[in-house]
Structure formats: C-alpha cells, structure tokens
Amino acid sequence: MTSPKMPDPHDEVMQRRAIIVSDLKAMVPGEGVVDATNEMRAFETDGLTAYRQLPLVVVLPQTVEQVSKVLKYCNANNIRVVPRGSGTSLSGGALPLEDAVLLVLSRFNRVLDIDYDNRVAVVQPGVTNLGISNAVASRGFYYAPDPSSQIACSIGGNVAENAGGVHCLKYGLTTNNVLGLQMVLITGEVIRLGGKHLDSEGYDILGLMTGSEGLLAVVTEVTVRILQKPETARAMLVGFPSSEEAGQCVADIIGAGIIPGGIEMMDKLAIQAAEDFVHAGYPLDVEALLIVELDGPEAEVGFLIDQVVEIAERNGASMSRVSGSEEERQTFWAGRKAAFPAVGRISPDYYCMDGTIPRKALPQVLAGMRRMSEKYGLAVANVFHAGDGNLHPLILYDANIPGELEKAEDFGNDILRLCVEVGGVLTGEHGVGVEKRDLMPAMFNKEDLDQQIRIKCAFDTQHLLNPGKVFPQLHRCAEMGRMHISKGQVPFPDIPRF
Amino acid sequence: MNDTQSQSALRPDTENQVLDAVQWAISEQTPIEIRGHGSKQDIGRPMQVADCLDLSSLSGITLYEPEELVLSAKAGTGLDEIESLLAQNNQELQFEPMDYRPLLGRQDCGRGTIGGVLATNLSGPRRIKSGAARDHILGIRAVTGRGDIIKSGGRVVKNVTGYDLSRGLSGSWGTLAAFTEVTFKVLPCAETQASLIVSGLNDADAADIMARSMGSDAEVSSAAHLPESVRGRFIEGELPRGSATVLRIEGFGPSVDYRLGKLKQSFGEIAPCTRLDPQASVQLWREIRDVEPFCDGTSRPVWRVSVAPGVGHMLVAALRLQTGVDAFYDWQGGLVWLRMEADAEAELVRSAIRALGGGHATLIRTDGTTRNMVPVFEPQNAALSALSNRLKQQFDPGYILNPARMSTDL
C-alpha cells in the first residue's frame, strides 16, 4: 500500500548503531539481541503485511529488569522504541522504525499465578490469549475476550489494542477484563496498577493504558479476570432475504431484553466464500445470515432460543436452524471464524476494515458501500459483529493490477468516513496504528488530539515510544504545555450566579 | 460535615458557559469547586476555594435509543431522572450506582448527577460481575483545566480510536476536567431476581462459600456477607438468625429458579439456606449498596476498602485484634465497609491492607478536621504519584479544578 510517512530517522542514532547493539547485548545477554539483517526479516512487519520496515535492532528481554534497563538506556540516548507482542496487529501497531529498537516481549511467556478463589490469572504479556483459557480450562474456566487471532496474539498486545472478539456484547472488551498491570515507563521506572482487587486508588491509569497502542509504557505483567464456562451454549443460523430484515431482527432480539453471547452477520459474498471453504452448512439462497449464540443454564438457553426463533420469523427469516450438538455449534462458528481466509481464496488480495456504527445505521452504510463498490469497481464482502455494530468490510482487490491497491485504500477510507458520519468510529477493535493514523482528524478536532498528545507527554516527554502510530503529528511536549489564557485576560463570564 | 466553603456559585446551563467560567477562573488564577448536586461533597480533602462551578443546571437527556442500548445526557442531569426514564423502557445502568446520602447524612440534596457518577466511578453490588461506571461509559465531552472543550469515545460499544479518555477521566473527582456530557451503555433489566441466604457462617467460611458460588456456572450477580453484628440492621430485621451470606441470582424466571436451586443443593448441607423473594431481595441489595448498617447519623469514621475477595475477612480479623471495628462485606468479600468505633486509624488500616497483598482504602466518612489531616484516598508510591501529578499538569496546570481534593499534589 501507499507507504505511510513515518517520523524522520535520527541520523545520529543510525550512525551509532554498532555501539547501541553492543550496549544492548551487555544488557540482554545470550540470544536476546538480534541484529543480523536476515534474522531481523522475521520482524519487519505485523498483521498488516503491506507495510514493511527493518528495525535498527531487535531485543528480546526476559526479565522486567532487562526491560527497565533497555528503556532507561534508550531514553537517555534518545533512541526510539517500538514494543511488539506476537505481531498480529491489523493496523501496523508493531511496524518497526528504521532507527528504533524493536522490543519483543515474546519471551515473557509464563503463567505466574492462577487464583480460582479470586477468579484471576496473573500472566506475563507474551502468553497468548488462548493460552490463558487453556491454562484454566481444567477447572472449567476461561478468559472471555476472544479476538480471531487468539491462537497467536499475546495478552500484552490485547491490552495495547483493547482487543475485542465475538463475545464482547455480553462479556466486555479487554478493558473490562483486566484488573491489574505491571508496566515499565520509558524512564525505566516500574509501576504497578491494580491487582486482584477492584477499582483504582487514584486516576484510572489502567483504563488509559488499555488501548494505548504501545505509546505510553511497556506492559510486563497482566492480571485478568477468569470466568466459569456457561453450563451450555447453543448457536443458531438464521437466514434473511435482505440485510435490512436481518438488522431489524438483531434490534428486536436486543430490544426484547436478550443479550446473546455472540451475534454475527455475514452478507451473501461472505456466506458463499465461507461455505465453499469450510462447508459449515450455510444457506446459499439468502442475502444475510445471522449466527446467534445463547449461553447459560440449559433451561434458559432453551427458553431464549424459542424467543429468538419467534422474533426471526416475525422479521421475515427464510430459514433457521439450531445446533443440536456441540460439534454442530462449532461447525456453525467455523465458517464465520474462517471468513477472512475464505475471502482470501476468492480474491488475490483483500483489505479488512474495522469501523463501528450505531446498529440502526446499518442499511444506510450497506447502501453506501454498494455505491462505493460500483464507483471503485471493487467487490466488498461483509462480516459484522452485529450485536455491537462493529463492521469488517473486506475489500477485494488485486495488488498486481496497477492502481488497484490505491483504489482499495481510497474505498476503505471512504467507508470509515461514512462510519464516522453516521455517528460511528474509525476502529472498533483493530486499533489506529499506522493504518488509520491520518484519518484521525475525521473524528477528532485539534483540541481533542492535542489533549491526547498531552497524555503521551505525561508518560514519554521525548516521544520515544512507538512514534508514528495513532497521531498524524506529534508536537513537542514543551509546545503542548503552553497555556493560551493569560492572567487577568478573560472577563467575568455572563452566567447565572447564586 | 461540609467543610469546603465556596463563597458563591456560577451555574452555567450550556457547555459554552462552562468553558467561559473555567477560562475566567484560569485567567483569575482562582481555583473552583466543581459540584453537581453536592451529594458527595463531603468526600475527599476539604478544598480552599472561593468559587463553585455548579453544573446542576447543565441538565437534560440528549439522546436515548433503547434498541441501541445507549443514553447521552448533559453532565448535570439527575441520576433519578435518568433511572426513571430507563425504567419506563425496562432498562437500567447495570452498575447500579450507590447513593452516598444516607451514609453521609445528606438527605438535603439531590441523588447526584450523571457527571458525578462518572467523576467518582460509582458502582454497586453488581461490580464483581458487571463492572463500575468506568465499564459502561462510551463517550464524554468535558472542559479541561486548560480551558479547552474536548471529546473522547463516542456512542458505540466497540471503539479503540485514540486513548480511552472516557475511562481515563472516570474516578478523577473533578481534578482533571469538568464533564459537560456523558454517554453510557444501558442494558435491559433482568426479568426477576432472588437471593439465597446461607445462615450462620463465620467470616472465613462465608468467604469460601462466596468464592465457590462466584466460581460456579450459576452466574451469581452479587455476593455479600453480613456478620451477625450487622444482620439485624437490614430489611427491618427480617433476615434469618445468625450471620447472612447472600447470593443474588438475576435473569429469566425459570433460569433464576434453576440456578438458585443448584446453589441450594451445593450449600444446603453446610448451613441452613433460605430463599428471599424478588421484593425483599431488591430491598436487601439496595441496603447493602447504600451501607445501611452504618447510616447511623453519626460522623464515626467509615472506610471503603477494596482488596482481593479472599482476604477481606483476614483484614477484618487483623484489625479486630487492635481496635474496635464493625464490618460487613460485599463483592465476594473484596469490598469491606468498616466503621471504626473511635479514631480513623488510617495507618493501621492501610498497613493491614499492604500486609495482605494490597488494595486501597478510602475514608468515606469522618469529620472535617480528620479529612484535612489524614489522606482520604489511598496514598500512592513515589513513581505512580509522580505520574498522576504529571497527568494533572497536562490537564490542569494551574490547579484550578477541585485542587487537592484527592491528594495535596493533584
């Protein structure tokens, strides 16, 4: 894709590369420093593979002390740092910079404590999302947020991106399931936030850290809530002749006071691609398909399924099928979970978007996308976290056709602008990263963005942590600190006084 | 108990007027108190301020779409007004924000504003399952202590666009910015509820029962333990004899019956179990939420302590060896309400918490002199406190908004 403009490299850092590498090797001995070009190739990109850049050097620390030393050293020597977990970011959050140390946390891979009485697990940031669920599965527990990349993505990365998944509507996002963190500031200071107890004793810095995309601090330990698995879970497929009817059905289910464990929508192109790929038994004669999962005690699930069937029929459903076994439930989900690779089979390339909209705007946004699809001459497949309004349009294109990639990008940007226009946002769960950085002004004005940058200044005055991500421009903290109101300048306001 | 004395109040009714007022205060270098209904005015360090920014006229629900599960309101809108509108549509703020007035003896003011709910990150007994205000906030508008209007978040649940300032400002007690409008996720009310009372357990056994029930698939929404010393002060003394360990189940009727039965089966052999019908259950949990046993019209010190659920009873046992204290537990034992017989004993309480693995204690009720002398909020270590101070400087460099309410350097 069109290469994003990244911050100009610090020449003096590039020139000192050999010294920096040797200093880092002293701090992180053994296999902890990777500086050979061919070995660094493995780290040149993340889940947004269109962007590639070799880092200055890769460091894989193993202890908090090493992380602290490396950061302190970089801060003292004006060296940029890009933190990385498993590198599955879909927005380029872990894209290296030419003059930056790539700090990879994958060797922080231990589960430190499982405390069933308090229902928490304390893990290192490199443990995978699914790894947490696996570690507590023997006692029937699991960790609720389940991004599609859960086999590979790390919990540290989940915190950085405030990762979601298909169960968010009922069980919340990462930010609702993290109770504590240990983090290291760019100064090397180690700070603990929260723990096994609830709420913050001061400012909610835990809330600020979650979703901060590696720009504020490096997470070295995470305490998460674990939950007992529901007694049972059943999924149902419901097909509709139009996406409008499917959308209304979702609204009516929620309006009836039912909060499903998961509720997903796919359009015709996505259904077809998924069915061809995994043979999940999806109907091919419908325009929109809902997968609705209900979980809880058997008695409740049965009762609610009957209600959902009735609501679906009222909304003109042309078919519905309830899973009769755990195996069948998994099959229903297999198609949805493989939707991205399935689309990958029918098109040489695809570009995955991630806007969120108020659910009621769905018909308007889908119609808008159809118009754009005609305008750009590119097809789009839609998968949609219908319960929470999070869209994943997949724009199909062929990078080998000159100009098509730029067209796909423009198409994507138009979709996101439309999302913001109808009251939604640029990104629901993939993060801003590099990808949507330059679209931030579509959602935020200068005052909004400046205040966000001031938060960055409270953590990292020299903008050394992950620069070039999230913000279109980073102004110097000294500039940002200046007040524009001077003493005695503002007259007494004309406001009712009591 | 009100020791914060502001001379006069500015009462804006638009966001632009809030902006004008804050900009004026910055230019005059005169600190202001931010107030809604004043229901939590007596919590925190007393402030030395000449003026008050009274946001109670900045009122009105600006958006409510029940099917979208979203509600926006101007920050000064009363919680009563919001809850009653939601109730008409069988919805609620699921984090059931508590009411501090009875505990603080402040029946003379309104229930509190929605901005105040977020500024103090209120919650209730459902905190352990459904979270606090910070878990349900979707977006905010606010005026910072720099005199800027800012916004963050939006009206949708899934949103990772930019830093999560809505959460970052929750629980900041008006020391960073004055909210002008907030947007919350709302949820359908459960069709019904019931509670299982397990009677006669000591605090340690109760902790075990609460942990087992919360760790089961019965989807318990709240778990509290009311020792014998406080039991009689709930629901007009109608709870069965002995201490009461209370487990709340909410949802559709048949599901509630089934899950409650399952718990009864697990615990029935250990201790006598009684079922509370929906009406009594609602009343009991409201009284637990609002700390009924300590609403005694006195200013005897009351602490709100958050620790790991499993150690709440150990904290109380440790304190009892050294001082006179009455206590009960919510949040599976992780929220401990302590009423001290005489002095606040801040160091004693806080060192006992540290010894048990950490947490925090807030001195919710005490007299004004003590609030000046004893840190009301949990003191932070040097690195964290310095970071909090840097955040304060980035939002309110002139220390204009609620100065020193949380601690002397914020």
pLDDT category of residue A49 using cuts at 50, 70 and 90: confident
Q: Which CATH number fits domain A111-228: 3.40.50.300, 3.40.50.1370, 3.40.1260.10, 3.30.465.10?
A: 3.30.465.10
Residue A466: per-residue pLDDT: 98
Map residue B329 onto helix, strand or coil. strand
Name the fold adopted by B292-378.
Alpha-Beta Plaits (3.30.70)
With an 8 Å Cβ cutoff, are B377 and A204 in contact? no
Q: Which chain B residues contact residue A493 at CB under 8 A?
A: 10, 12, 17, 20-21, 23-24
Residue A2: per-residue pLDDT: 59
pLDDT at B6 > cutoff 70: no
Alpha-carbon distance B245 to A398, whole Å? Answer: 64
Q: What's the half-sphere exposure (Cβ side, CA atoms, 13 Å) at B215?
A: 20
Tokens of A143: 């960790």
With an 8 Å Cβ cutoff, are B215 and A436 in contact? no
Alpha-carbon distance B405 to B44, whole Å? Answer: 5
Residue B2: per-residue pLDDT: 44
Instruction: Please count the residues of chain A.
Output: 498
Q: Which chain B residues contact residue A207 at CB under 8 A?
A: 134, 164, 167-168, 170
- Those residues with Cβ within 8 angstroms of residue B321's Cβ, 6 or more apart along the chain or in another chain: none
Would you say domain A11-104 falls under CATH 3.20.20.70? Answer: no
- How does pLDDT run across B196-220, given as a tens digit for each residue? 999 999 999 999 999 999 999 999 9
Could you say which DSSP state residue A202 is in?
Answer: S
How near does any CA of chain A get to the CA of B160, in Å?
5
pLDDT at A142 > cutoff 90: yes
Alpha-carbon distance A340 to A277, whole Å? Answer: 11
pLDDT at B72 > cutoff 80: yes
Q: Which of A478, A456, A473 is nearest to A465 (CA)?
A: A456
- Segment A232-241 shows an average pLDDT of 96
Give first-to-last CA distance, chain A, whole Å. Answer: 60
- How does pLDDT run across A325-350, given as a tens digit for each residue? 999 999 999 999 889 889 989 999 99
Alpha-carbon distance A69 to A72, whole Å? Answer: 5
- How does pLDDT run across B114-161, given as a tens digit for each residue? 999 999 999 999 999 999 999 999 999 999 999 999 999 999 999 999
- Asked whether B210 and B125 are in contact (CB, 8 A), the reply is no
Residue A22: per-residue pLDDT: 97
With an 8 Å Cβ cutoff, are A197 and B188 in contact? no
With an 8 Å Cβ cutoff, are A175 and B167 in contact? yes
Give first-to-last CA distance, chain B, whole Å. Answer: 23
pLDDT category of residue A495 using cuts at 50, 70 and 90: confident
pLDDT category of residue A488 using cuts at 50, 70 and 90: confident
Chains A and B form CB pairs within 8 A to the count of 322
CA distances from B325 to A111, B24, B307 (A): 38, 47, 17
User: What b-and-e string marks burial along A426-435, b requiring 16 or more CB atoms within 10 Å of the CB?
Assistant: bbbbbbbbbb
- How does pLDDT run across B330-364, given as a tens digit for each residue? 999 999 999 999 999 999 999 999 999 999 999 99
Q: What is the mean pLDDT of chain B?
A: 96
Output A360 or B336, whichever has higher pLDDT: B336
User: Which of A112, A197, A362, A469 is the best mutation test for B, with the most CBs of B within 10 A?
Assistant: A197
Alpha-carbon distance B253 to A159, whole Å? Answer: 37
Place of tokens 């004006």: A78
With an 8 Å Cβ cutoff, are B158 and A428 in contact? yes
With an 8 Å Cβ cutoff, are A251 and B163 in contact? no
Q: Which chain A residues contact residue B57 at CB under 8 A?
A: 496
pLDDT at B55 > cutoff 50: yes
Tokens of B25: 């205060």
Among chain A residues, CA nearest to B336: A197
How near does any CA of chain A get to the CA of B396, in Å?
10
- How does pLDDT run across B83-98, given as a tens digit for each residue? 999 999 999 999 999 9
When CB atoms are compared, the residue of B134, B388, B390 closest to A207 is B134
User: Which of A71, A495, A498 is the best mutation test for B, with the most CBs of B within 10 A?
Assistant: A495
Alpha-carbon distance A214 to A344, whole Å? Answer: 29
Name the fold adopted by B192-271.
Alpha-Beta Plaits (3.30.70)
Residue B5: per-residue pLDDT: 54
Q: Which of A158, A191, A183 is nearest to A172 (CA)?
A: A158
Among chain A residues, CA nearest to B119: A203
Among chain A residues, CA nearest to B362: A201
- Asked whether A179 and A223 are in contact (CB, 8 A), the reply is yes
With an 8 Å Cβ cutoff, are B65 and A487 in contact? no
Q: Which chain B residues contact residue A488 at CB under 8 A?
A: 27-28
- Asked whether B171 and B27 are in contact (CB, 8 A), the reply is no
With an 8 Å Cβ cutoff, are B123 and A199 in contact? yes
With an 8 Å Cβ cutoff, are B308 and A490 in contact? no
Alpha-carbon distance A386 to A362, whole Å? Answer: 9
pLDDT at B7 > cutoff 80: no
- Segment A360-378 shows an average pLDDT of 94
Tokens of B64: 């409510």
- How does pLDDT run across B296-326, given as a tens digit for each residue? 999 999 999 999 999 999 999 999 999 999 9
With an 8 Å Cβ cutoff, are B28 and A497 in contact? no
- Asked whether B222 and B128 are in contact (CB, 8 A), the reply is yes
When CB atoms are compared, the residue of B146, B334, B383 closest to A483 is B146
CA distances from B227 to A90, B35, B246 (A): 52, 36, 11
Q: What are phi and psi of A461, to 5 degrees?
A: -65, -25
| Partners of residue A57 on adjacent β-strands | A101
pLDDT at A168 > cutoff 70: yes
How near does any CA of chain A get to the CA of B242, in Å?
24
- Asked whether A252 and A232 are in contact (CB, 8 A), the reply is no
**Domain residue extents for chain A:** 11-104, 111-228, 232-340, 347-438
pLDDT at B1 > cutoff 50: no
User: Which of A71, A300, A451, A459 is the best mutation test for B, with the most CBs of B within 10 A?
Assistant: A451
Map residue B194 onto helix, strand or coil. strand
CA B139 to chain centre: 19
How near does any CA of chain B get to the CA of A253, in Å?
9
Residue B4: per-residue pLDDT: 53
Considering the segment(s) A347-438 as one domain, its CATH architecture is 2-Layer Sandwich (3.30)
Q: Which helix (H) or strand (E) holds B76?
A: none
Beta strand spans in B135-186 (E) = 137-144, 149-153, 177-185
- Those residues with Cβ within 8 angstroms of residue A479's Cβ, 6 or more apart along the chain or in another chain: none
How near does any CA of chain A get to the CA of B295, in Å?
23
Q: Which chain A residues contact residue B149 at CB under 8 A?
A: 447
Alpha-carbon distance A261 to A233, whole Å? Answer: 8
Helix residue spans in A256-403 (DSSP H): 268-278, 298-314, 326-337, 339-346, 362-376
Q: Which chain B residues contact residue A385 at CB under 8 A?
A: 158
Q: Which chain A residues contact residue B217 at CB under 8 A?
A: 140, 228-231, 297
With an 8 Å Cβ cutoff, are B12 and A495 in contact? yes
- Asked whether B170 and A204 are in contact (CB, 8 A), the reply is yes
Q: Which helix (H) or strand (E) holds B301?
A: none
Residue A4: per-residue pLDDT: 82
- Segment A261-280 shows an average pLDDT of 95
Class of domain A232-340: alpha beta
Tokens of B81: 């007004």
Domains B192-271 and B292-378 share a fold: yes
Q: Which chain A residues contact residue B191 at CB under 8 A?
A: 257
Q: Which chain A residues contact residue B127 at CB under 8 A?
A: 198-199
- Residue A256 one-letter amino acid: A
Map residue A222 onto helix, strand or coil. strand
Place of tokens 């940031």: A125
When CB atoms are compared, the residue of B67, B171, B219 closest to A254 is B67
When CB atoms are compared, the residue of A202, A455, A494 closest to B377 is A202
How near does any CA of chain A get to the CA of B401, in Å?
15
Could you say which DSSP state residue B125 is in?
Answer: T
Domains A11-104 and A347-438 share a fold: no
- Tally DSSP H helices, then E strands, for chain B: 15, 18
Would you say domain B1-189+379-410 falls under CATH 3.30.465.10? Answer: yes
- How does pLDDT run across A395-434, given as a tens digit for each residue? 999 999 999 999 999 999 999 999 999 999 999 999 999 9
pLDDT category of residue A80 using cuts at 50, 70 and 90: very high
With an 8 Å Cβ cutoff, are B255 and A300 in contact? yes
- Asked whether B166 and B75 are in contact (CB, 8 A), the reply is no
**Pairing verdict, β B61-65 and A141-142:** unpaired
Give ∠ CA A165-A167-A172 in degrees, rounded to 5: 90
User: What b-and-e string marks burial along A303-320, b requiring 16 or more CB atoms within 10 Å of the CB?
Assistant: bbbeebbebbeebebbeb
| Partners of residue B401 on adjacent β-strands | B32
CA B159 to chain centre: 25
Q: Which helix (H) or strand (E) holds B54?
A: strand B51-54
Alpha-carbon distance B299 to B103, whole Å? Answer: 9
**Domain residue extents for chain B:** 1-189+379-410, 192-271, 292-378
How near does any CA of chain B get to the CA of A426, in Å?
6
With an 8 Å Cβ cutoff, are A490 and B9 in contact? no
